[in-house]
Amino acid sequence: MTGQVAAFGAEGARGSLAGPSDYLALLKPRVMSLVVFTALAAMIVAPGALHPVLAITALICIAVGAGAAGALNQWYDADIDAIMTRTRTRPVASGKIGRQEALEFGATLAAFSVFAMAFLVGYVPAILLAATIAFYVFVYTMWLKRSTVQNIVIGGAAGALPPVIGWAAVSGAAFDPLPWLLFLIIFLWTPPHFWALALAGSEDYARAKVPMLPVVKGSRTTRNQIVVYTILLAASAVTPYALGFTGLIYAATAAIGSAAFLALSVALWLAPVDRERVAALRVFAFSIFYLFALFTALAAEKLIGLAPAEPTVTKAEQVVKQRLPGAPPASNW
Amino acid sequence: MTPEEKKKLNQRNWALAGVLLAFVVLVFVVTLVKLGANVANRPL
């Protein structure tokens, strides 16, 4: 442990044994894949047309921006990453890449991704990308993670923003309702996803003194909260269909997926202590599949032509118009 | 610097060169896309 702390404090790439794969690991590629996928789905359903080259450019900027945030997270959290079993092989925690190097690498890529987005794609997605990186690094990593049990709840906003960025890259609009519904879905998905992981490895978080819910409030409260958030998630997942933004394929995926997610959460809630870890890992694994399924359905429906024709003219707008004469069109929300 | 460190340094340099080249190509292609048909229609 002491050796690891000393190792990640060591600076200088010149004599380093870090290869390109270590720098790729610094970008947290698994997190990046989920970020890119949700942004891509939003880009597919967004109204308007973006040249494929510009769409790929936007996705690269989002991927690099997310990776930069991951690198800056590893720079700041090297001390606790080195303590936790799950994270101690990360490049900075294991000493392969120096902290200073990770900071410079992350900050350079963050600036690069935002400026490239601004000049090659548009200012609105660039501002959103900058806000996402800043929120993840300054608000979640530096402030919330070590100070409050609500760390991943509030911090989840950073991971929920990529669909809004993707949507803005295509449409140029930052305040359409559908991308913010997608934001809400990922925002409510984050607590059961991370708390299930934290339940399975709560000793890890306790050793690192990270105030995750199972460490601070215990297993029972965490299981209760997972069920509550899964119910809220299920409600938010069917909302895009209820408001007329999506079709039946998405609705069926959301309904079946949410029912399965809720069943696994209830199974975790009911599980005896000796089965808790297995039940928690099931919830964690399914949560990843669930989010991919939801966004795949959303995108597939649009690609095969089964999505509602005008995603921004919706039942929601009609309801508002009926109730509030003179209300602006949904696209101006 | 040990031979292993030198090998890793070479790998990092080549990776960086590849990334920079890819970025130059990306900016070039994006420029063509943004200019579009105006590339052909410009006054000579």
Question: Complex ipTM, two decimals?
Answer: 0.87
- Nearest-neighbour CA in chain B from A101: distance (Å): 13
- CB-based contact A23 B33, cutoff 8 Å: no
Rounded mean pLDDT of A51-78?
Answer: 97
Q: How far apart are alpha carbons A125 and A145 in whole angstroms? A: 26
Cβ-defined contacts of A145-149 (< 8 Å, 24+) = A145/A77, A145/A210, A146/A80, A146/A209, A146/A210, A146/A211, A147/A211, A148/A211, A149/A211, A149/A212, A149/A213, A149/A216, A149/A217
Q: What is the pLDDT of residue A311?
A: 47
Dihedral (C-alpha) A284, A285, A289, A292: value to the nearest 10 degrees?
60
Nearest to A181 by CA among A56, A65, A316: A316
CB of A60 within 8 Å of a chain B CB? The answer is yes
Contact A81, A75 (CB under 8 A): no
* Cα–chain center distance at A179: 14
Q: How far apart are alpha carbons A283 and A192 in whole angstroms? A: 8
- Nearest-neighbour CA in chain A from B20: distance (Å): 12
List CB contacts of A219: < 8 A, sequence separation 6 or more.
A199, A202, A273, A276
Which residue of B7, B8, B25 to mutate against A (max A Cβ within 10 Å)?
B8
For residue A99, name the pLDDT band (cuts at 50, 70, 90).
very high
Give the mean pLDDT of chain A: 90
Nearest to A94 by CA among A19, A3, A12: A3
| Cβ neighbourhood burial of A186 (10 Å; 0-12, 13-18, 19+) | buried
Q: What is the pLDDT of residue A164?
A: 98
Contact A134, A126 (CB under 8 A): no
Give tens-digit pLDDT for A31-55. Answer: 999 999 999 999 999 998 899 999 9
Cα dihedral A123, A124, A126, A127 sign: positive
CB of B17 within 8 Å of a chain A CB? The answer is no
Q: What is the pLDDT of residue A24?
A: 95
Q: How far apart are alpha carbons A65 and B43 in whole angstroms? A: 39
Q: What is the pLDDT of residue A2?
A: 42
Count of residues making up chain A: 333
CB of A219 within 8 Å of a chain B CB? The answer is no
Query: B2-31 b/e with 16+ CB inside 10 Å = b?
Result: eeeeeebbeebeeeeeeeeeeeeebeebbe
Side-chain-facing half-sphere of A166: CA atoms under 13 Å: 31
For residue A14, name the pLDDT band (cuts at 50, 70, 90).
low
- CB-based contact B26 A57, cutoff 8 Å: yes
Q: How far apart are alpha carbons A126 and A134 in whole angstroms? A: 12
CB of B3 within 8 Å of a chain A CB? The answer is no
Give the mean pLDDT of chain B: 89
Q: What is the pLDDT of residue A315?
A: 55
Residue corresponding to tokens 């610094």: A26
CB of B37 within 8 Å of a chain A CB? The answer is no
Q: What is the pLDDT of residue A1?
A: 40
CB of A16 within 8 Å of a chain B CB? The answer is yes
Q: Which two tokens stand for residue A63?
A: 């991927």
The size of the A-B interface in CB pairs under 8 A is: 36
- CB-based contact A13 B15, cutoff 8 Å: no
Q: How many CB atoms lie within 10 A of CB A117?
A: 28
Q: How far apart are alpha carbons A4 and A91 in whole angstroms? A: 11
SS3 A59: helix
Which residue of B12, B25, B31, B32 to mutate against A (max A Cβ within 10 Å)?
B12
Asked which of A117-121, A123-127, B33-37 is least confident by mean pLDDT, the reply is B33-37
